[in-house]
Amino acid sequence: MNSLKKILVPLLVIALALASAILLWSAANSQPASAQAVYQTPTPDAEGRIYYIVEEGDTCTRIFLLTNVSIDDIIRLNGLTEDCSLITGTKILLGTVAAPALTQTAMPSPTIAPDKITPTPTPEPGFAKVCIVLFNDLDGTGMRTEGETYLYGGVVSINDRLGQVSLTGTTVAGNPDEVDPLCFENIPEGSYNITVAIPDGFNATTITNYPLEVKAGEQATIDFGAQVATAAPGEQAAAASGRSPILGIVGAVVLAAGIGLGFVMWRQRKV
CA angle 7, 13, 14 (to 5 degrees): 90
Quick one: what percent of the chain has pLDDT higher than 90? 34
- Residue 109 in any domain: the answer is yes
Asked if residue 153 and residue 75 are part of one domain, the reply reads no
Residue 230, pLDDT score: 78
Asked if residue 58 and residue 157 are part of one domain, the reply reads no
- Residue 158 in any domain: the answer is yes
- Residue 90 in any domain: the answer is yes
Residue 105, pLDDT score: 54
Residues in contact with 133: Cβ distance below 8 Å, sequence separation at least 6, in sequence order? 144, 150, 171, 176, 181, 182, 221, 222, 223, 224
CATH number of residue 51's parent domain? 3.10.350.10
Residues in contact with 114: Cβ distance below 8 Å, sequence separation at least 6, in sequence order? 135, 142, 143, 144, 145, 223, 225
Mean pLDDT of 4-28: 66
What is the rounded CA–CA span in Å between residue 54 and residue 60? Answer: 10
Residues in contact with 18: Cβ distance below 8 Å, sequence separation at least 6, in sequence order? none
pLDDT tens digits, one per residue of 237-266: 555 555 556 655 656 655 655 565 555 565
Asked if residue 62 and residue 158 are part of one domain, the reply reads no
Asked if residue 126 and residue 81 are part of one domain, the reply reads no
The listed range with the strongest mean pLDDT (71-80, 95-104, 158-167, 223-232) is: 158-167
Domain span including residue 185: 100-228
Asked if residue 55 and residue 137 are part of one domain, the reply reads no
pLDDT above 50 (res 124): no
Asked if residue 104 and residue 194 are part of one domain, the reply reads yes
pLDDT band at 85 (very low <50, low <70, confident <90, very high): confident
Asked if residue 86 and residue 195 are part of one domain, the reply reads no
Residue 198, pLDDT score: 95
What is the rounded CA–CA span in Å between residue 83 and residue 116? Answer: 31
Nearest to 81 by CA among 232, 210, 209: 232
Asked if residue 133 and residue 93 are part of one domain, the reply reads no
What is the rounded CA–CA span in Å between residue 241 and residue 166? Answer: 47
Q: How many domains does the chain have?
A: 2
Task: Concatenate the DSSP letters of all residues of 200-234 into one string.
Answer: TTEEESS-SEEEEEE-TT-EEEEEEEEEE----HH
Residue 119, pLDDT score: 64
Asked if residue 157 and residue 133 are part of one domain, the reply reads yes
- For residue 177, give the H/E element and its range: none
- Residue 70 in any domain: the answer is yes
pLDDT tens digits, one per residue of 188-208: 999 999 999 999 999 999 999
Residue 48, pLDDT score: 79
What is the rounded CA–CA span in Å between residue 175 and residue 243? Answer: 41
Asked if residue 219 and residue 170 are part of one domain, the reply reads yes
pTM over 0.75, yes/no = no
CATH number of residue 208's parent domain? 2.60.40.10
Asked if residue 187 and residue 118 are part of one domain, the reply reads yes
Asked if residue 76 and residue 59 are part of one domain, the reply reads yes
